[in-house]
Structures are given as structure tokens and as C-alpha cells.
């Protein structure tokens, strides 16, 4: 009796286990169902986005423009090598100028960057949309206690004061602004009156000056009357020279005769 009861219990538990194993799906089945649900959600989201774009095309165009601009800024964010190239280019430009004609502001800024670069204190960080170059208190390889202790590092509120340049859309803006008019030394014009120290754009790029500059290379064309006038003036000048020469010779003869008589 007891043996029959145990046998029935064993067969019932085995059947329940087999039904549970048959009812439980496999790993690949669950993964396929999850993938189909995920693709269905993305398809619905894309459909809703397209419907919203058709309903408000202006806003959709603005969002697309912002996303495209952000992607372009991220792609054009200048690297550390680009800053090195721009710095060396600026230094070479200043070296080609005479010391007396260099802008003191441009030279001081470039010399500061070169000094920090030589001591390994320039740092570059890419923020995605733009890049920053800032000053570090020590070289990255320095093993001093002050350089390694995290309690002695510069505070975050001091970071804006340590920024040296900003790179955006493939250009370093502060370096470019400092190198503007790098061949003009304002100290050369300190002795001039105030109204002569500043030259307006119309005084540098006037149409009259450009026209005169171009005309000086043009050939001179003379009319027949001008040629005849020039020949007549040449003849008159030659005749005046001959008359002056004859008069000088006569005067010399008269003086010589007077000396002989005396």
C-alpha cells in the first residue's frame, strides 16, 4: 500500500516537472521575442516622429538643423595637434617681422604659450562641441607632492582664469584674435597726436588710392598734339642752352681780353 502511494507520488512529480520544462521557452525564443518587441517600439517611435515632422515642418527643420550643427561642431573640434600647429605658425609669423614692428600684445601672448609648452603645462580637453587649452600648475610627469596631492590641486572656480584658448569649428579663436594686426606696433605711434594714431578703413582701402596704384603701371599714351608740344618744348630748351653757352663763352672772352689789356 505504501509502495503504491510512493509510486503514484513519484509519477505525479515527474509529470509536473516535464510539463514545466515543456512550457518554459528557451533562451533564443525569449531573445527573439525581446528583439521583435524592441523593433516594434522603435518603429512606432519613428512613425510618431515622422507624423510630428509632417504636422510641424518648421520645428522639425529647426531640430534637424540643430542636430546637424552640433554634429558638425563635434567633427570640427580642433585637436591638440592642431593647436601645436597654430602656435608654431604664429611664432614663425612673428619671427619674420622686425622686432620694432611686432605687436607687443601678440608677442607676449605667443611667448607665454611657448613658455608653458616648453614646461609641459599646457593641457587640452575636448568638450565635444568645442575644445579648450588651459594652464596646468605642474608638468604631467612631475612627481612632486604638490603636483600629486589632490587637496592641493587648483579649485574648480579658478578654472576660467586658467583657460588660454578656445577651439571651435576648426579654429583657435583667442590665438587668432591676438595675432590680428601682429605687424603693427602701437608704441611707434605714441608720439603722434591722438587723431593721427587711428587710421580708418576708408583711408587704407580707398578707391582713389587703388586706382592711382593701378594707373602707375599703365603705359603713357600721347596724342600728336602732345608729341608736337613736347618736341617744340625740347627745341626751345636746347636753344636756351645754346644761347646760355654762347653767352658764357663771350663773357669768358671779354674777361680774358680785359685781363690782357691790364
Give me the pLDDT at residue 24, please: 65
Give me the pLDDT at residue 20, please: 46
Residue 200 has pLDDT above 80, yes or no: no
pLDDT in tens, 153-176: 888 888 889 999 999 988 999 999
Round to whole Å and give the CA distance between 16 and 19: 5
- Local confidence band at 26 (pLDDT 50, 70, 90 cut-offs): confident
How much is the average pLDDT of 216-223? 82
pTM of the predicted protein model: 0.59
Residue 109 has pLDDT above 60, yes or no: yes
How much is the average pLDDT of 76-96? 92
How much is the average pLDDT of 134-144? 87
3-state SS string for the chain: CHHHHHHHHHHHHHHHHHHHHHHCCCHHHHHHHHHHHHHHHHHHHHHHHHHHHHHCHHHHHHHHHHHHHHHHHHHHCCCHHHHHHHHHHHHHHHHCCCHHHCCHHHHHHHHHHHHHHHCCCEEEEECCCCEEEEECCCCCCCCCHHHHCHHHCCCHHHHHHHEEEEEECCEEHHHHHHCCCCCCCHHHHCCCCHHHCCCCHHHHCCHHHHHHHHHCCCCCCCCHHHHHHHHHHHHHHHHHHHHHHHHHHHHHHHHHHHHHHC
Contacts of 128 (CB under 8 A, 6+ apart): 73, 74, 77
Residue 41 has pLDDT above 50, yes or no: yes
Q: Strand 163-168 relative to strand 131-135: parallel, antiparallel, unpaired?
A: antiparallel
Give me the pLDDT at residue 105, please: 92
- The CA distances from residue 67 to 51, 63, 240, 246, in Å, are 19, 6, 86, 94
List the single range of 26-35, 124-133, 148-157, 230-239 with lowest mean pLDDT. 26-35
Give me the pLDDT at residue 8, please: 57
Give me the pLDDT at residue 35, please: 84
Asked if residues 172 and 78 have their Cβ atoms less than 8 Å apart, the reply is yes
Percent of the chain with pLDDT over 90: 26
Residue 60 has pLDDT above 70, yes or no: yes
How much is the average pLDDT of 198-211? 73
Give me the pLDDT at residue 10, please: 54
Give me the pLDDT at residue 1, please: 46
Percent of the chain with pLDDT over 70: 88
List the single range of 104-113, 130-139, 179-188 with lowest mean pLDDT. 179-188
Please state, rounded to an integer, the average pLDDT across all residues of the chain.
83
Residue 21 has pLDDT above 50, yes or no: no
Amino acid at each position: 500500500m505504501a509502495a503504491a502511494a510512493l509510486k503514484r507520488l513519484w509519477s505525479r512529480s515527474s509529470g509536473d516537472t516535464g510539463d514545466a520544462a515543456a512550457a518554459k521557452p528557451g533562451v533564443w525564443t525569449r531573445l527573439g521575442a525581446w528583439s521583435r518587441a524592441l523593433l516594434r517600439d522603435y518603429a512606432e517611435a519613428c512613425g510618431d516622429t515622422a507624423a510630428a515632422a509632417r504636422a510641424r515642418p518648421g520645428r522639425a527643420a529647426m531640430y534637424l538643423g540643430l542636430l546637424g550643427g552640433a554634429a558638425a561642431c563635434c567633427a570640427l573640434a580642433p585637436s591638440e595637434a592642431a593647436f601645436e600647429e597654430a602656435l608654431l605658425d604664429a611664432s614663425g609669423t612673428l619671427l619674420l617681422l622686425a622686432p620694432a614692428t611686432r605687436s607687443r600684445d601678440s608677442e607676449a601672448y605667443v611667448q607665454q604659450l611657448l613658455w608653458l609648452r616648453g614646461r609641459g603645462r599646457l593641457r587640452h580637453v575636448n568638450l565635444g562641441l568645442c575644445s579648450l587649452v588651459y594652464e596646468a600648475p605642474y608638468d604631467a610627469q612631475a612627481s612632486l607632492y604638490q603636483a600629486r596631492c589632490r587637496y592641493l590641486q587648483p579649485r574648480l572656480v579658478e578654472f576660467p582664469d586658467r583657460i588660454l584658448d578656445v577651439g571651435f569649428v576648426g579654429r583657435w579663436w583667442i590665438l587668432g584674435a591676438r595675432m590680428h594686426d601682429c605687424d603693427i606696433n602701437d608704441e611707434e605711434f605714441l608720439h603722434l597726436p591722438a587723431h593721427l594714431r587711428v587710421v580708418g578703413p576708408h583711408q587704407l582701402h580707398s578707391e582713389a588710392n587703388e586706382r592711382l596704384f593701378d594707373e602707375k603701371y599703365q603705359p603713357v599714351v600721347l596724342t600728336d598734339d602732345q608729341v608736337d608740344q613736347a618736341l617744340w618744348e625740347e627745341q626751345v630748351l636746347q636753344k636756351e642752352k645754346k644761347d646760355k653757352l654762347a653767352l658764357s663763352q663771350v663773357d669768358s672772352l671779354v674777361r680774358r681780353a680785359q685781363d690782357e689789356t691790364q
